[in-house]
Structure 1
């Protein structure tokens, strides 16, 4: 079965010769009905793997036999994504190398945003996809400042710009980052529904939303027959657990909202490279990351480093690195659909992708050992270790 659902078929919606005049004469109602039919056909065709252009290379789940990559549903939707995705591609010099390593390892989920390198990351990503003839489940992060006044028009304008830079007709998932709490929830949900009905995306998710906001969006969607979100992008790592482990699981079981987590290594803190201070050329040594430096050098930061030393012993026992242990630990949660990796060089990415081999070793006993060292397991109704 095909893992990804044809996000890079550039000719999918291209009009044939002579169709422009017909389209211009089409009434708004007819056009709306046509878009609805297109979306219905697209949903069925994607589930059957029908959008397969003969000139495109397809990533199939059989890839897992070679790479060990696991595929999970995005929340409780029908979209299958690799359990490891590739995030921020703002490192232009090695972007193609990183994407190639990820893709050949079975990754089919790439996350990008307009803010990454001022839109250059989207251009680079699009050029690489076109050059390689790849078909991917592509996550596109829609900026929160696209939503206000009015949400629909600004979101459409921003999304069209992103799609144009990436040379794509549509993406599988659009994430809405809600930074403006003054925008009515109904307007946001209507905007995202409109994006999907326009054929620009198949699903939408939220980014950094509270559980209450996500539930409100779902309720609004049900009330007005709109499309609800299928997942939430949330920070999740050893030292940031409460939201993903206590708030979101309830939403996963009740309304099917899954998690795409980011920063599994806590901005590099969990790599262990800050054990003896701030190395030169590290992220925390750069001026824009003074906040990270302060965090590492604080009392809590020193306590975290002490815990990481103990966790390194568990990693050594399992025959893996500390970053691999941290990533596999994130994936033990049943509600986590995919973990986004942020790598700056090929060696680091290859190491992080190796976390796939550690997942079977994340037994209940190992998880308990990690919990004992961290001492920060949130109180919850269910045990999500498995």
Structure 2
């Protein structure tokens, strides 16, 4: 496992990072979740990502349980705040009240005195930006947070935060962005990535496998494999089924010879693609079984030649989405290449 600096900061994170969105506390049983974390540690993964909203706190609790007994200084724990965690008017957003209360609740569930990276899960139009930035800065000064980040912010939102932090004289700045990013979904490339590279903000890319689509396990004209994400109940299928269509799946299968040529699985090729993009510090993987963690971690250190990257672009062609306007609407917008979904 290789480690990279998180943006311009001195913090080193494992280039394969383990996350538990839609798994721990939701679609994956406790024992399987604990086994996945053990597999991650065995693979050399030291960075673990979660959020207060995942399974309404159960994901943080499971991660805290899984890491109990592990030397705290040997791992990096990241979590997030913003999305609704209750029915009250202040159980959401980036107000000082919610940020402070959510941080304390996350620390309690994780069983730690501090988190290495605290991220604004989305932008909050209903809270003055200075209120949010000062609250985050105070958490750093209190020793409860080491570094600050955001997730799915647009370039103008990031620019505003960076400029305002400078005006306020805040010493603790944003060093990380967590966007959805993979071979098919590249909406951060026109605006977000250039800004982040110029400002020293590193990318922790989630969904590098496009909800499993880029693993090649879904085939055109066939039902989803038993036990796969698209075959489950709950929220998981909502995200993956929106991109399943024969046109897309036929193209994805054309990536298989490229993966064979570099001697890796299609999943490893997809993860390596993300890690080979400029400005990316880590690929954030999830798993329901420990063997998935082990396989995906096998992409660490894999450098893809320029001709391989070019051929991937040629195969996917017009299915690649680069519309920067979709960054803020990621959770609601259906990609163009999903229009052919059956």
Give the alignment's TM-score, normalised by structure 2.
Answer: 0.83
Write the distance in 2 (CA, Å) between the matches of 1:71 and 1:334: 15
Q: Using the alignment, how far apart are the partners of 2:253 and 2:207 within structure 1? A: 19
RMSD: 2.2
Instruction: Indicate which of 146, 150, 175 corresponds to 1:206.
Output: 150
**Which residue does the alignment assign to 2:273?**
329
Tell me the residue number matched to 1:228. Answer: 173
Structure number with greater Rg is 1
The CA deviation string for residues 136-195 of structure 1, in whole angstroms up to 9 with x for no partner, is 111112233478687112211111011011111101100111253222221221121111
**Mapping of residues 172-191 of structure 1, within 5 Å:** 172-191=116-135
Matching residue within 189, 197, 215 for 1:253: 197
User: Equivalent residue for 1:127?
Assistant: 65
Aligned mates of 1:217, 1:309 — CA distance in 2: 41
Q: Which runs of 5+ in 2 are unaligned?
A: 85-89, 324-342
The counterpart of 1:144, out of the listed 79, 83, 90, is 83
SS at match of 2:190: helix
Change (3 A) 1:129 1:208: same
Task: Tell me, yes or no, if structure 1 residue 73 matches structure 2 residue 11.
Answer: no
Check conservation: 2:287, 2:293, Cα contact below 8 A. Answer: yes
Tell me, yes or no, if the aligned pair for 1:148 and 1:183 is still in contact at 8 Å. no
SS of the residue corresponding to residue 182 of structure 1 reads coil
Matching of residue 239 in structure 1 with residue 184 in structure 2? yes
Cα deviation code 1:59-101 (max 9, x no counterpart): xxxxxxxxxx111111111111111100015032222221122
Quote how far apart the aligned CAs of 1:344 are.
0.7
Residue 316 of structure 2, aligned match among 366, 374, 382: 374
Name the CA distance, whole Å, in 2 between partners of 1:84 and 1:76. 18
Structure 1 residues without counterparts, runs of 5 or longer? 1-68, 381-386
Distance of aligned partners of 1:147 and 1:363 in 2 relative to their CA distance in 1, 3 Å threshold: farther
CA contact (8 A) 2:209 2:270 kept: yes
| Residues in 1 aligned to 2:56 and 2:240: alpha-carbon distance in whole angstroms | 25
CA distance, structure 1, for counterparts of residue 270 and residue 246 of structure 2:
18
Q: Secondary structure at the match of 2:55?
A: helix
* Counterpart contact for 1:152–1:194, Cα < 8 Å: no
Give structure 1 regions of 4+ aligned residues with deviation exceeding 4 angstroms: 145-150, 376-380
Match for residue 100 of structure 1 among 15, 38, 45: 38
Question: Given that residues 274 and 305 in structure 1 are in contact (C-alpha distance below 8 angstroms), is that contact kept between their aligned partners in structure 2?
Answer: yes
Higher RCO, 1 vs 2 (CA within 8 Å, ≥6 residues apart): 2
**1-side partners of 2:122 and 2:196: how far apart?**
20
Q: Is the 8 A contact 1:144 1:180 kept in 2?
A: no
Partner SS for 2:277: coil
| SS state at 1:113 partner | coil
Partner of 1:39: none
Q: Which of 233, 249, 253 is the aligned partner of 1:309?
A: 253
- Asked if structure 2 preserves the Cα contact closer than 8 Å seen for 1:85 and 1:338, the reply is yes
Across the two proteins, how many residue pairs are aligned to each other? Answer: 306
**Pair 150,108 (structure 1): closer, same or farther in 2 beyond 3 Å:** closer
